[in-house]
Structure 1
Amino acid sequence: MTIQSYFVLAVFISTIIGLIKYQQRPSLVFGIALLVLFSTQMVSSEQVIRSLSNQGLLTLILLMLCSIALEKTRLLRLIAMKVIKPSYKATWVRLFGFTVLSSALLNNTAVVSTMLAPIRNNPHHSPSKLLIPLSYAAILGGTLTLVGTSTNLIVNSLVLDAGLPTLGFFDFTLVGLCLVVVCGITLYFCGQCLPDRSIDTAEAESYFIEAKVSADSTLVGKTVEQNGLRHLQSLFLVEIMRGESLLSAIAPSEVLQANDKLIFSGDISTVSQLNMFDGLSIFAEKNGLSIDNLREVVVRPESILNGKTLKKVGFRSLFDAAVVAIKRDGEKVSGKIGRLKIKPGDFLVLAVGEDFKSRRNIRKNFILLSDIELDSRLSGTKEWLAVVGFLIAITLSAVGVLPLFKSVLLLLGVLLLTGCFSTNELLRRMPIDIWVIISSAIVLSYALQNSGVIEQFTLLVSNNTHAFTPLMALIAIYIITWLLTELVTNNAAAALVFPIAYGLATSIDANPTAFIMAVAFGASASFISPYGYQTNLMVFNAGQYRLNDFIKIGVPVSLAYSITAVSMIVIVFGL
């Protein structure tokens, strides 16, 4: 081996060590590897540019951006409301089935994100009994199609870069279906090992938001549960003001009445989801101001507001603004916003008018913090366009009418032109980390080829073919990918192992597709570690789990998954 070979091999090993040590910053590790290889001329400028503009990588990014519009619709939330039932068995089956099917077509991270709030706020079952099954179902559903998980799309981008035909939309489906059935049964019978922990959803959320039910609202006469007010994302219904009465500890069976004031606690950036409920108006909107332009401020000690209520001081005319939400550190606020006496240090979120910035009294009364980015929601024609457009784009790709890249690029253009999201939203949600990880991994594979490491590896295998039967080699590739997935995240594992798997398959004259699938399914086999897969990390924090909880459930599921995956890959694709 040459000096260049040893150097590139050292970078490869250092990248793996760095990923293990800095699990939360894989993009930084890969980015450093890219810069080192490029600065030492182990890869050319053309190869770096080709890696950054890889078609499979761009397809993944476009798909993730298009899913932003889908997240802004009511589709997943409305379906999620139907999942939770008083019976744990019925809830489990509905949750598993819905999550698997949704994750086969949508980004499984978005599916889990949508389901977190309904599960955390459900009145019937402990969230810790449902959140691990939610994550595992999302992982299994992602294995069904090309677009179900970013891992499959990453592998496809590496396939295209190697000059091979693109993977088909349903190439994963047969193996994936077997995994869903076998692992679903295993997970169900392991459910007794899930912890039963109560979670206080409201204590971490501190902003206090008021909305009023109009007399002609369709919410009137229905319970809190029927109206879906228990299933909001990061907003929790904590009180109801009914006339002069204050109702606390709201039961799901509480029937709403006309002119009720609903008091929510939660993340102010998600307040716009209240607009999806007919006849529900936010306190600021009653004052004639839109909530599309929000500012966060702190009340100064010398403010004229101190000790007075918003109603008494004439807040709207004084500042050309209205209070959307209030937060008081170290103290719980209660009752109608308009009747609360303001104190120094109160945090206020204001819906501001055109004259707000020009008013001379603003800085005398408030410390200005920042603008607030709202999670805007789609409704009407735009909502239908986002849902139907996404399904059409996926269907056209699935049946082979259009390549996936072309269909999602056209969809993105339509969504932008119709205002389903703005360019600022796209820039804010651009998956830069994914772009850096995958493009750097492709650069690393170029360096392994340029330096002769892959050639030396192929020669070593060719001279010892008796030790590398196709089946043993396939199992080895799967195990290496699985171990790296648990240690360094799924996307990084797929990107690192692919060049080795492809080189090994060609050197022993085995079927490359089987080895490619071993990498794809091995990279999705993250059940034991809460850090190996993004959905696991999301439910780990939300369900207040411990590492031991994942180990108890994950080991049997992982064994069932591995045996089924390897067996079905051999049967379906052959060696």
Structure 2
Amino acid sequence: MTFQSYFVLAVFILTIIGLIKFQQRPSLVFGVALLSLFSTEMVSTEQVIKSLSNQGLLTLILLMLCSIALEKTRLLRLVAMKVIRPTYSATWLRLFGFTVFSSAFLNNTAVVSTMLAPIRNNPNHSASKLLIPLSYAAILGGTLTLVGTSTNLIVNSLVLDMNLPSLGFFDFTLVGLALVVTCGTTLYFCRSLLPDHMMKSSKSESYFIEAKVNPDSTLVGKSIDENGLRHLQSLFLVEIMRGDLQLTAITPNEIIQANDKLIFSGDISKVSQLRMFDGLSIFAENSGLPLGNLREVVVRSESILNGSTLKSVGFRSLFDAAVVAIKRDGEKVSGKIGRLKIKPGDFLVLAVGEDFKSRRNIRKNFILLSDVELDSRLTGTKEVLAIVGFFAAIVLAAFGILTLFKAVLLLLGVLLLTGCLTTNELLRRFPVEIWVIISSAIVLSYALQNSGVIDNFTALMSANTDLFSPLLALIMVYIITLLLTELVTNNAAAALIFPIAYGLANSIDANPMAFIMAVAFGASASFISPYGYQTNLMVFNAGQYKLNDFIRVGVPMSLVYSVTCVTAIVLVFGL
């Protein structure tokens, strides 16, 4: 081996060590590897540019950006309302089925994100009994199709980079179905191993938002549960003001009445969800100010507001602003916003008018913090367009009428032209980390080829074919990918192992497709560690789990997944 070979091999090994040591910064580790290889001329400028503009990588990014529009619709929330049932078994089966099916066609991270609030807020079952099954179901559903998980799309981008034909939309489906059945059955019978944690509340640290039920609202006469008011993302209904009556112990069966004031607690950026309910108006909107321009402020100690209510000082005319939400550190806020007595240090989110900035009394009364970026929602024809357009693109790609890249690029253009997405949203949600990880991994694979590491590896394997049967080699590739997934992340594991797996398949004259699938499915096999897969990390925090909770359920899941996966790959693709 030459000096270049040893240098690239050292970078490869150090990248793996770096990913294990700095698990929260995979893009930084890969970025350093890319710069090291490029600065030492282990890869050419053309190869770096080709890696950054890889078609499979761009397809993944376009798909993630298009899915933002789908997240802004009511589709997933409305379906989520139908999942929770009084009996645990019925809820579990509905949750598993819905999550698996949705994750096969949608971004599984978005599916889990949508389901977190309904599960955490449900009054029937402990969230910790449902959140691990939610994440595992999303992982299993993602293995069913090409677009089900970013891992499959990453592997496809690497396949295209080898000048091989693109993987088919349903190439993963037969193996994926076997995994859904066997692992789903295992998970169902392991449900007794799930912990039963009491959820700790942090509502007093959140903003409090008031919304009024108009007399003509369709919410009137229906229960909290029927209206889906417990299924909001990062917003919680904490009390109802009914005239002078204050209801704090709210049951799911509480009937909404006309003119009720609903008090929500949570993330102010999610307040636009409330506008999706017919006849529900936010406090600030009653003052004639839209929610498009929000500012966060802190009340100064010398403010004229201190000790007074918003109504008594004429807040709207005084500041050309209206209070959308209020937060008081270390103390719970309760009651109607307009009747609350303001205290020094109160955090307010204001809907501001055109005259707000020019008012001379603003800085005397408030410390200005920042603008508040709202998560916008789609309604009417835009909502229909986003839903129909997304699924139409997926169907056209699935049946080979258009390539997936062309379908999602056209869809993104339509979403931008019709205002379903804005350029600001795309910039804010652009998956820079995934772009850096995948493009850097492709650069690393080029370096392995340029330096002769892959050729040396292939020669070594060819000289020892008696030691490596195709089945043993396949199992070895799968296990290494699985271990890396648990130690680092799914995307990083797939990107690192792919060139080695492909080179190994060629060197022992085995079917490359089987080895490609071993990498794809092995990189999705994250059940033991909460850090190896993004959905695991999401439910780890939301369900207040401990590492032992994942190990207890994840070990049998991982064993069944592995045996089923290797067996199914051999049967479906052959060696």
TM over 0.5: yes
Give the structure 1 partner of residue 325 of structure 2. 325
Give the structure 1 partner of residue 280 of structure 2. 280
Give the structure 1 partner of residue 377 of structure 2. 377
**Residue identity matched to 1:463:** A
CA-to-partner distance for each residue in 1:442-492, whole Å, 9 max, x for gaps?
000000000000000000000000001100000000000000000010000
Question: How far did residue 260 of structure 1 move?
Answer: 0.4
C-alpha distance in structure 1 between counterparts of 2:268 and 2:498, whole Å: 43
**Residue identity matched to 1:40:** T
| Compared CA separation, residues 84 and 261, structure 1 to 2 (3 A) | same
Question: Quick check: 247-256 or 521-530, which moved more?
Answer: 247-256
Give the structure 2 partner of residue 137 of structure 1. 137
C-alpha distance in structure 1 between counterparts of 2:439 and 2:337, whole Å: 51
Q: Any idea what SS the aligned residue of 1:281 has?
A: strand
How do 1:262-281 and structure 2 match up within 5 A? 262-281=262-281
Q: Is the contact between residue 204 and residue 330 of structure 2 (CA under 8 Å) also seen in structure 1?
A: no
How do 1:517-528 and structure 2 match up within 5 A? 517-528=517-528
Q: Is the contact between residue 140 and residue 179 of structure 1 (CA under 8 Å) also seen in structure 2?
A: yes
Question: How far did residue 202 of structure 1 move?
Answer: 4.5
Q: Any idea what SS the aligned residue of 2:219 has?
A: coil
Give the structure 2 partner of residue 121 of structure 1. 121
Q: Is the contact between residue 65 and residue 426 of structure 1 (CA under 8 Å) also seen in structure 2?
A: yes
C-alpha distance in structure 2 between counterparts of 1:203 and 1:269, whole Å: 15
CA-to-partner distance for each residue in 1:16-48, whole Å, 9 max, x for gaps?
000000001100000000000000000000000
Question: How far did residue 198 of structure 1 move?
Answer: 1.3
How do 1:492-571 and structure 2 match up within 5 A? 492-571=492-571
Question: How far did residue 174 of structure 1 move?
Answer: 0.3
C-alpha distance in structure 2 between counterparts of 1:214 and 1:127, whole Å: 33
C-alpha distance in structure 1 between counterparts of 2:523 and 2:78, whole Å: 31
**Residue identity matched to 1:452:** G
CA-to-partner distance for each residue in 1:51-83, whole Å, 9 max, x for gaps?
000000000000000000000000000000000
Question: How far did residue 397 of structure 1 move?
Answer: 0.3
Percent identical: 83
Give the structure 2 partner of residue 417 of structure 1. 417
Q: Is the contact between residue 205 and residue 327 of structure 2 (CA under 8 Å) also seen in structure 1?
A: no
**Residue identity matched to 1:311:** K
How do 1:446-461 and structure 2 match up within 5 A? 446-461=446-461
How do 1:349-360 and structure 2 match up within 5 A? 349-360=349-360
Give the structure 1 partner of residue 479 of structure 2. 479
C-alpha distance in structure 2 between counterparts of 1:229 and 1:498, whole Å: 46
Give the structure 2 partner of residue 212 of structure 1. 212
CA-to-partner distance for each residue in 1:287-320, whole Å, 9 max, x for gaps?
0000111000000111111111000000000000
**Residue identity matched to 1:312:** S
Give the structure 1 partner of residue 186 of structure 2. 186
Give the structure 1 partner of residue 222 of structure 2. 222
Asked if residue 231 in structure 1 is aligned to residue 221 in structure 2, the reply is: no
Question: How far did residue 204 of structure 1 move?
Answer: 6.3
Q: Any idea what SS the aligned residue of 1:427 has?
A: helix
C-alpha distance in structure 2 between counterparts of 1:510 and 1:402, whole Å: 31
> TM-score, normalised to structure 2's length?
1.00
Give the structure 1 partner of residue 66 of structure 2. 66
Question: How far did residue 201 of structure 1 move?
Answer: 3.9
Q: Is the contact between residue 121 and residue 201 of structure 1 (CA under 8 Å) also seen in structure 2?
A: no
**Residue identity matched to 1:32:** V
C-alpha distance in structure 1 between counterparts of 2:231 and 2:268, whole Å: 16
Give the structure 2 partner of residue 161 of structure 1. 161
- Structure 2 unaligned runs (5+)? none
C-alpha distance in structure 2 between counterparts of 1:404 and 1:308, whole Å: 59
**Residue identity matched to 2:132:** I
C-alpha distance in structure 2 between counterparts of 1:424 and 1:300, whole Å: 32
Q: Any idea what SS the aligned residue of 1:333 has?
A: coil
Asked if residue 16 in structure 1 is aligned to residue 16 in structure 2, the reply is: yes
- Structure 1 unaligned runs (5+)? none
Q: May I ask how many residue pairs the two structures share in their alignment?
A: 575
| Compared CA separation, residues 30 and 422, structure 1 to 2 (3 A) | same
> TM-score, normalised to structure 1's length?
1.00
**Residue identity matched to 2:356:** F
Q: Is the contact between residue 202 and residue 266 of structure 1 (CA under 8 Å) also seen in structure 2?
A: no
C-alpha distance in structure 2 between counterparts of 1:199 and 1:550, whole Å: 17
Q: Is the contact between residue 298 and residue 348 of structure 2 (CA under 8 Å) also seen in structure 1?
A: yes
Question: How far did residue 203 of structure 1 move?
Answer: 3.1
Give the structure 2 partner of residue 361 of structure 1. 361
CA-to-partner distance for each residue in 1:180-222, whole Å, 9 max, x for gaps?
0000000000000000011134536521100000011110111
Q: Is the contact between residue 461 and residue 507 of structure 1 (CA under 8 Å) also seen in structure 2?
A: yes
Q: Any idea what SS the aligned residue of 1:220 has?
A: coil
Q: Is the contact between residue 205 and residue 328 of structure 2 (CA under 8 Å) also seen in structure 1?
A: no
Q: Is the contact between residue 203 and residue 265 of structure 2 (CA under 8 Å) also seen in structure 1?
A: no
C-alpha distance in structure 1 between counterparts of 2:540 and 2:380, whole Å: 35
**Residue identity matched to 1:378:** L
Give the structure 2 partner of residue 256 of structure 1. 256
Question: How far did residue 513 of structure 1 move?
Answer: 0.3
Q: Is the contact between residue 205 and residue 267 of structure 1 (CA under 8 Å) also seen in structure 2?
A: no
C-alpha distance in structure 2 between counterparts of 1:483 and 1:451, whole Å: 26
Q: Any idea what SS the aligned residue of 1:501 has?
A: helix
Q: Any idea what SS the aligned residue of 1:253 has?
A: coil
Give the structure 2 partner of residue 2 of structure 1. 2
How do 1:193-204 and structure 2 match up within 5 A? 193-203=193-203
Question: Quick check: 168-177 or 201-210, which moved more?
Answer: 201-210
Q: Is the contact between residue 205 and residue 330 of structure 2 (CA under 8 Å) also seen in structure 1?
A: no
